């Protein structure tokens, strides 16, 4: 048998795919769809631009037959896929067989093979080399109409053979004359055959675009439409919200076929029910546009309900096998009514020079283009990506209009509440301002008194105690007393500096600490290494400077008196808004006896307590023979421009 498929991944096929993608994009641009649809279009076109990993069957042999196998004796004709019965078989209703042949280089390929069917708007059976693989829906009426659900069927390796293989697909569905919309007529898309891994990505993309995304939009319309209907029903002055809610709920019900795989009713009843929703949707759409434009007419209020009742009656009088043409005529009439109402609304909005003219005009334009594309698909072949974009555009535009209406309603309610509560809010603000000013004055007064007291104490310490200690330093004959007086004088000066409350530049503080530490360790014969950044714009509060100085003095004293070290390193840095100081020596370390802890003795508990008071921490690491490491971490204040 002559294979019906071209070899995959050829250079010519790749060039044709790359040339076809810009053509599809140009057609969609010609349709005038808004820029928000471009990412979706690129998602649909991306598989065509990439090098294919599977074979796309675009031709098949078609034959009519009722038997369980492909009718060999029947007259078979070569057709192009997708094969849409709305154009190729508008009136025929007999089941149809499709045969697709493909070749394999080996009987057992390494990768599991599969066939992917993007659209089969009917019940079908799939056979591989004469063996039944998959059945979707009943093969007798009522048939399943899963027009938007793609199918992925794996091909068992045991049934595959080297060379030519044959896929037979039996399709049982409804012709165009027996359905209310041409999109529900039976048909078969091109078959993708190849490795299962490659087809799973294609299946996920098509399932999302054809099923999941429309389902999500339908659920959103159902929820928002119900909310807006209740909102408009309770607020009669905003009746347009109720009509828009009815329109959203009706559109969601029209897409109920996305959720229901098998209807429990006869096919003719289901088609009449779905068609009967169209005049209700037109009624809601026209009244929404007129009420939103703040205009109503009694004749229109009476004609629309009568029309919604008349259409189902006319459909009852028509044979189920001739349902399509009456529904198509009614759909054209209803579309003209909605278009006239939309033009009337835009004319009034333009006369009022309202911002809604441009916003609603753009949204209604997209809705009109999508509806026109749906009608065009009834008579001519429209590319599948364009049809999918049109189907997504209509509910998406309804969602956007609903969001705008909810936003406008919330703004109106907010303005009403603000105007009513404005006086109360101003009174509360005035009372709050008075309380805040009173509290600030009280705090300022306490702070001023505290500051004066601190300065007085600092002056007394400096003038009285400082002068006496200085006298002892210079007049004492005892070296020990002179040393103690000098140390007390330094501590007193440090305390006075803390009482003044002046912030200290971190670079200046590091200079003071380096001079003191290096001098003390050098006098004790201990080699010192000091490392710190040169430019540090941050500052330390006076309290932080005092406490850090005392911690560093305590650490230096412990090294001199208790460590027995010959070398000490001090490292300072600023990281993540914290000041970090590390003091390391090579001394004997701290004993690890069971009754001893690192925070006992040598003033280490005091060092930790001082760091804790500054919202920081002081960690001590030591061991016998390994020296001692003291890590001090303090949060810094924001850098200030000090004179």
Give residue 31's pLDDT band: very low, low, confident or very high (50, 70, 90).
very low
Q: Contact, 391 vs 211, CB < 8 A?
A: no
Tens-place pLDDT, residues 285-328: 999 989 988 888 899 999 999 999 999 999 888 888 888 888 88
Tens-place pLDDT, residues 431-446: 888 888 888 888 777 7
Which alpha helices (H) appear in 38-185, and where do they start and end?
38-49, 85-88
Which has the closest alpha carbon to 563: 532, 594, 531, 604?
A: 604
Considering only 34-43, 450-459, 472-481, which range has the smallest mean pLDDT? Answer: 34-43
Q: List all residues 6 or more positions away from 310 whose beta carbon is below 8 Å from its beta carbon.
A: 279
* H or E, element range at 429: helix 384-460
What pLDDT is stored for residue 492 in this prediction? 64
Give residue 508's pLDDT band: very low, low, confident or very high (50, 70, 90).
confident
What pLDDT is stored for residue 191 in this prediction? 92
Q: List all residues 6 or more positions away from 382 whose beta carbon is below 8 Å from its beta carbon.
A: 373, 376
3-state helix, strand, coil in the chain (%, to 5): 60, 15, 25
Give residue 572's pLDDT band: very low, low, confident or very high (50, 70, 90).
very high
What pLDDT is stored for residue 569 in this prediction? 93
Tens-place pLDDT, residues 84-112: 888 888 777 778 999 999 888 765 667 78
Tens-place pLDDT, residues 158-210: 888 888 899 999 998 888 888 888 778 888 889 999 899 889 988 998 888 88
Q: Contact, 104 vs 91, CB < 8 A?
A: no
pLDDT over threshold 60, residue 17:
no
The residue with greater pLDDT, 2 or 403, is 403
Nearest 10 degrees: CA dihedral of 414, 419, 423, 428?
Answer: 10
Q: Are strands 628-635 and 151-155 parallel, antiparallel or unpaired?
A: unpaired
Give residue 363's pLDDT band: very low, low, confident or very high (50, 70, 90).
confident
The residue with greater pLDDT, 108 or 31, is 108
pLDDT over threshold 80, residue 37:
no
Tens-place pLDDT, residues 251-275: 888 887 777 767 778 888 888 888 8
Give residue 3's pLDDT band: very low, low, confident or very high (50, 70, 90).
very low
CATH number of the domain at 503-635, out of 1.10.3720.10, 1.10.645.10, 3.30.70.60, 3.30.565.10?
Answer: 3.30.565.10
What pLDDT is stored for residue 304 in this prediction? 93
Give residue 467's pLDDT band: very low, low, confident or very high (50, 70, 90).
low
Calculate mean pLDDT across residues 379-385: 66
What pLDDT is stored for residue 493 in this prediction? 62
What pLDDT is stored for residue 23 in this prediction? 36
Q: List all residues 6 or more positions away from 433 whose beta carbon is below 8 Å from its beta carbon.
A: none
What pLDDT is stored for residue 7 in this prediction? 36
Q: Contact, 172 vs 135, CB < 8 A?
A: no
Specify the fold of 11-208. Jelly Rolls (2.60.120)
Give residue 282's pLDDT band: very low, low, confident or very high (50, 70, 90).
very high
CA torsion sign, 507 to 510 to 514 to 515?
Answer: positive
Q: Contact, 245 vs 228, CB < 8 A?
A: yes
- Specify the 3-state DSSP secondary structure of 379: coil
11-25, 120-134, 364-378, 499-513: which is most confident: 120-134
Rg (CA), the chain: 43
- Specify the 3-state DSSP secondary structure of 62: strand
Calculate mean pLDDT across residues 327-331: 88
Sheet holding 59-64, edge to edge: 77-80, 59-64, 96-104, 163-172, 123-128, 131-136
Nearest 10 degrees: CA dihedral of 471, 473, 479, 484?
Answer: 110
User: Whole-structure pTM over 0.75, yes or no?
Assistant: no
DSSP calls for 585-635: E-S------TT--TTSSTTHHHHHHHHHHTT-EEEEEE-TTS-EEEEEEEE
């Amino acid at each position: 048998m002559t294979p019906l498929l071209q070899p995959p991944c050829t250079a010519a096929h790749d060039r044709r795919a790359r040339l076809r993608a810009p053509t599809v994009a140009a057609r969609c641009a010609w349709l005038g769809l808004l820029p928000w649809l471009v990412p979706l279009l690129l998602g649909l076109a991306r598989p065509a631009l990439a090098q294919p990993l599977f074979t796309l069957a675009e031709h098949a042999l078609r034959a009519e037959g009722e038997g369980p196998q492909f009718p060999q004796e029947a007259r078979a004709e070569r057709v192009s896929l997708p094969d849409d019965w709305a154009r190729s078989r508008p009136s025929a209703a007999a089941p149809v067989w499709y045969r697709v042949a493909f070749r394999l280089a080996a009987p057992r390929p390494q990768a599991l093979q599969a066939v992917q069917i993007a659209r089969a708007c009917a019940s079908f059976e799939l056979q591989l080399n004469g063996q039944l693989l998959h059945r979707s829906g009943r093969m007798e009426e009522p048939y399943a109409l899963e027009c938007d659900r793609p199918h992925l069927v794996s091909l068992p390796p045991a049934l595959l053979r080297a060379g030519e293989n044959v896929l037979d697909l039996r399709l049982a569905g409804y012709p165009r004359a027996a359905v209310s919309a041409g999109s529900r007529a039976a048909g078969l898309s091109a078959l993708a055959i190849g490795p299962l891994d490659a087809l799973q990505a294609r299946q996920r993309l098509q399932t999302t675009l054809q099923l999941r995304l429309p389902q999500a939009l339908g659920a959103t319309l159902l929820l928002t439409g119900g909310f807006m209907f209740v909102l408009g029903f309770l607020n009669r002055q905003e009746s347009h919200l109720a009509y828009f809610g009815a329109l959203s709920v009706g559109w969601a019900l029209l897409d109920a076929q996305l959720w229901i795989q098998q209807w429990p009713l006869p096919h003719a009843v289901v088609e009449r029910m779905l068609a009967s929703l169209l005049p209700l949707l037109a009624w809601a759409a026209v009244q929404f546009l007129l009420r939103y434009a703040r205009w109503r007419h009694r004749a229109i209020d009476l004609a629309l309900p009568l029309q919604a009742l008349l259409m189902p009656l006319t459909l009852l009088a028509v044979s189920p096998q001739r349902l399509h043409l009456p529904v198509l005529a009614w759909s054209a009439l209803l579309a003209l009514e909605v278009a006239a109402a939309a033009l009337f609304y835009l004319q009034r909005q333009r006369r009022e020079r309202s911002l809604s003219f441009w916003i609603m005009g753009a949204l209604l334009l997209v809705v009109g283009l999508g509806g026109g594309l749906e009608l065009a698909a009834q008579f001519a072949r429209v590319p599948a990506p364009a049809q999918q974009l049109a189907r997504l555009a209509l509910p998406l535009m309804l969602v956007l209009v609903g969001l705008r209406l909810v936003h406008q309603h919330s703004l109106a309610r907010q303005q009403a509440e603000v105007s009513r509560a404005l006086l109360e809010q101003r009174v509360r603000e005035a009372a709050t301002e008075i309380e805040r000013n009173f509290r600030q004055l009280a705090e300022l007064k306490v702070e001023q008194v505290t500051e004066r007291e601190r300065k007085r104490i600092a002056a007394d310490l400096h003038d009285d105690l400082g002068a006496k200690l200085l006298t002892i330093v210079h007049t004492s004959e005892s070296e020990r007393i002179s040393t103690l007086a000098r140390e007390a004088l330094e501590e007193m000066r440090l305390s006075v500096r803390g009482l003044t409350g002046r912030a200290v530049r971190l670079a200046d503080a590091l200079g003071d600490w380096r001079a003191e530490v290096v001098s003390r360790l050098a006098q004790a014969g201990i080699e010192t290494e000091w490392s710190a950044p040169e430019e540090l714009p941050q500052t330390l509060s006076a309290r932080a400077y005092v406490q850090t100085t005392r911690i560093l003095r305590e650490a230096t004293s412990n090294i001199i008196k208790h460590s027995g070290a010959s070398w000490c390193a001090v490292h300072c840095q600023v990281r993540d808004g914290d000041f970090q100081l590390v003091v390391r020596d090579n001394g004997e370390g701290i004993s690890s006896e069971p009754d001893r802890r690192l925070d006992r003795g040598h003033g280490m508990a005091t060092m930790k307590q001082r760091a804790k008071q500054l919202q920081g921490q002081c960690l001590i690491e030591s061991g016998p023979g390994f020296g001692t490491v003291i890590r001090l971490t303090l949060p810094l204040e924001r850098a200030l421009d000090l004179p």
